[in-house]
Amino acid sequence: MSFSGRRRAPVSALVAVLLVVATAVGAIVTLGSDATASRQLVPHSHPAIAIVSSPQLQTFETKIVAKADAKSHTRKPTLVLGTAKFTITVTNTNPVRLTSVTVTDRLSPGCNRNIGALAPGGSIGYSCSAANVGRNYTNTAIASGQWTKDARVLTAAQAATTARTTAKVRVKPKVRQRTRLPLFTG
Amino acid sequence: MIVSRPRNHPPRSRLTRFSCTVAVKGAALVLLLSASAAGVGAADAGGSGPPAAKKVFPYRYTLTDAKIGHWAAVLRSVVAHRQPKASSPAVTRLGVVTSEWTQNVVLVIGGIDVNPTQTWYDVRLPILPNNSIGWVPASALGDLYTVHTHLFVNRATFTATLKRDGRTIFTTRVGVGRSHWPTPAGQFYIRDKVTGFNDPFYGPIAFGTSARSAVMTDWPGGGFIGVHGTNEPQILPGAVSHGCIRMVNDAIIRLSQLMQVGTPLTVT
């Protein structure tokens, strides 16, 4: 589509609007910090560390089991909550060595790990679990690491890098029992 | 927000149908909206924007009314209190499993956020006297589930009516308790669903309710009132049971397809 001379005026208006927007956006970026200074702390634009958690969604039923009571010699039904299981993989996707690599998982403390150093391109995977899960939640694991000083990157200071992953856990209350006789009055 | 705004543009193929002037005006409008939105964001970040409506504690709310109900599983044995505080008198202790070995659930009538981190739920209790309620901490219950159905049983007309969002979707004639074993009246809920038990007396499916017989207290399991099928369809409808709500097997099968556990039950 070619613009006729008569239609050039709206384009110039667009340029003017773009300038206004750019000014407004720039104002947000620089709020509360010095944009130039913070840019020096980020040596590369691509992510330096990656973390993957699987499965993305897991669903399980709560379980009711017969538990023996040693005192009364009877078996009583007991609710057993489920255990969510995760496989987490942390990868250093940057060509520089990472140190102090850790994985923090607030909702599933069993998934916390202190990995240490991770070579360029290196990857480490592990399995972990969260017991007694009674309700739905979205698990979030955050991997963090430190850049070491490197001649190839234009930074004099160490900078931290983080990545996060989420996985959903769904719990289905067991409200039906197929084998037990009903005890209703009838 | 700024990045996502352009996604609201019509697809490119549709854009070609517009004249250039209209397209440019549209783009300018969207960009102006983006700029104003960015301005709001900047104002919020600086704390100078309009004050957001603050939640005042304690904050009370209703979770079950005539059309919609909420239920939750009991995850740990917990004491139900008269008031939403641990120091108030105990009403009963809720277990995690019913007498039928099913997950114990409660109908959640309402809630109160005592503070940003502490919530108590007002729940209907499966105890005597019937229609009892109590407060339990939200931490003892699982997630809240919504139910849109409500079962009504009329002991005078021997009918059971299931409504969804206030509209009748199922009705049938039923048998209720005899005069000396009456079906209790009041507000209850469907507590569990039992199938595959191979006892023709209860028909193919039996629902347990939170209602309990006030006279058959020594019945195994505590004398809970059920909603179930029957092997004696010829005596329905009428006051024929020990307190349970009986219906023909075809009806209980149909009801089980429409009604889920947690459904509120009103017996009049």
Domain end: B102, B127, B146, which one? Answer: B146
User: Which of A82, A168, A135 minimizes the C-alpha distance to B73?
Assistant: A135
In this structure, the answer to whether residues B172 and B229 fall within a common structural domain is yes
| DSSP codes, B176-212 | EE-TTSPPPPEEEEEEEEEE----GGG-SEEEEEEEE
Instruction: List pLDDT tens digits, range A127-138.
Output: 999 999 999 999
**Region of poorest pLDDT, from A4-18, A51-65, A158-172:** A4-18
> B37 touching A, CB under 8 A?
no
In this structure, the answer to whether residues B162 and B262 fall within a common structural domain is yes
User: Per the domain annotation, does B51 fall within a domain?
Assistant: no
In this structure, the answer to whether residues B28 and B104 fall within a common structural domain is no
**CA distance readout (Å), A117 to A100, A103, A147:** 6, 12, 10
* Of A87 and A93, the one with more pLDDT: A87
Residue B74 carries which DSSP code?
B
Residue B144 has pLDDT above 70, yes or no: yes
Q: Which residues contact A83 (CB under 8 A, 6 or more apart)?
A: A129, A130, A131, A132, A133
Instruction: List pLDDT tens digits, range B81-96.
Output: 999 999 999 999 999 9
Region B67-80: what's the mean pLDDT? 96
* Of B162 and A120, the one with more pLDDT: B162
User: Per the domain annotation, does B53 fall within a domain?
Assistant: no
> A26 touching B, CB under 8 A?
no
- Interchain pair A20, B181: CB under 8 A: no
In this structure, the answer to whether residues B89 and B134 fall within a common structural domain is yes
Instruction: List pLDDT tens digits, range A23-47.
Output: 333 333 222 333 344 444 444 445 5
What CATH code is carried by the domain that includes residue B75?
A: 2.30.30.170
Residue with tokens 């499993």: B97
In terms of residues, how long is chain B? 268
- Alpha-carbon span B68 to B90, nearest angstrom: 28
| Residue A8 tokens, joined | 């050039």
- Interchain pair B102, A177: CB under 8 A: yes
**CA distance readout (Å), B96 to A19, A100, A173:** 63, 44, 11
140-169 in chain B: CB under 8 A from chain A: 142-143, 145
Note the pLDDT of residue A179: 60
User: Per the domain annotation, does B52 fall within a domain?
Assistant: no
In this structure, the answer to whether residues B179 and B225 fall within a common structural domain is yes
Residue B98 has pLDDT above 80, yes or no: yes
Note the pLDDT of residue A73: 86
In this structure, the answer to whether residues B221 and B205 fall within a common structural domain is yes
- Alpha-carbon span B257 to B263, nearest angstrom: 13
Domain end: B114, B146, B178, which one? Answer: B146
By C-alpha distance, the chain A residue nearest B26 is A14
Residue A174, number of CB atoms within 10 A of its CB: 19
User: Per the domain annotation, does B54 fall within a domain?
Assistant: no
Give the distance from residue B196's alpha carbon to the nearest chain A alpha carbon, in angstroms: 5
User: Which of A112, A115, A116, A113 minimizes the C-alpha distance to A148?
Assistant: A116
What CATH code is carried by the domain that includes residue B183?
A: 2.40.440.10
> B189 touching A, CB under 8 A?
no
In this structure, the answer to whether residues B79 and B38 fall within a common structural domain is no
In this structure, the answer to whether residues B261 and B156 fall within a common structural domain is yes
Note the pLDDT of residue A152: 52
- Alpha-carbon span A84 to B139, nearest angstrom: 19
Nearest by CB to residue B244, choosing from A10, A24, A186, is A186
Residue A8 has pLDDT above 50, yes or no: no
- Considering its fold, how many domains does chain B have in total? 3
Record the pTM. Answer: 0.74
- Which residues of chain B are within 8 Å of residue A78 when distances are taken between CB atoms? 96-97
User: Which of A63, A179, A84 minimizes the C-alpha distance to B103?
Assistant: A63
Mapped onto helix, strand or coil, the DSSP state of residue A90 is: strand
**Region of poorest pLDDT, from A26-35, A147-156, B39-48:** A26-35
In this structure, the answer to whether residues B166 and B118 fall within a common structural domain is no
Region A44-68: what's the mean pLDDT? 85
> A64 touching B, CB under 8 A?
yes
In this structure, the answer to whether residues B154 and B136 fall within a common structural domain is no
Instruction: List pLDDT tens digits, range B228-239.
Output: 999 999 999 999
Q: Is B179 exposed, middle or buried (0-12, 13-18, 19+ CB in 10 A)?
A: exposed
**Region of poorest pLDDT, from A144-158, B52-66, B111-125:** A144-158
Q: Is A154 exposed, middle or buried (0-12, 13-18, 19+ CB in 10 A)?
A: exposed
Domain end: B116, B146, B176, which one? Answer: B146
In this structure, the answer to whether residues B188 and B255 fall within a common structural domain is yes
Mapped onto helix, strand or coil, the DSSP state of residue B229 is: coil
In this structure, the answer to whether residues B248 and B211 fall within a common structural domain is yes
Name the residue range of residue B170's domain.
148-267
* pLDDT category of residue A97 using cuts at 50, 70 and 90: confident
**Region of poorest pLDDT, from A46-50, A87-91, B157-161:** A46-50
Residue B24 has pLDDT above 70, yes or no: no
By C-alpha distance, the chain A residue nearest B42 is A28
- Alpha-carbon span B46 to A139, nearest angstrom: 31
> A186 touching B, CB under 8 A?
yes
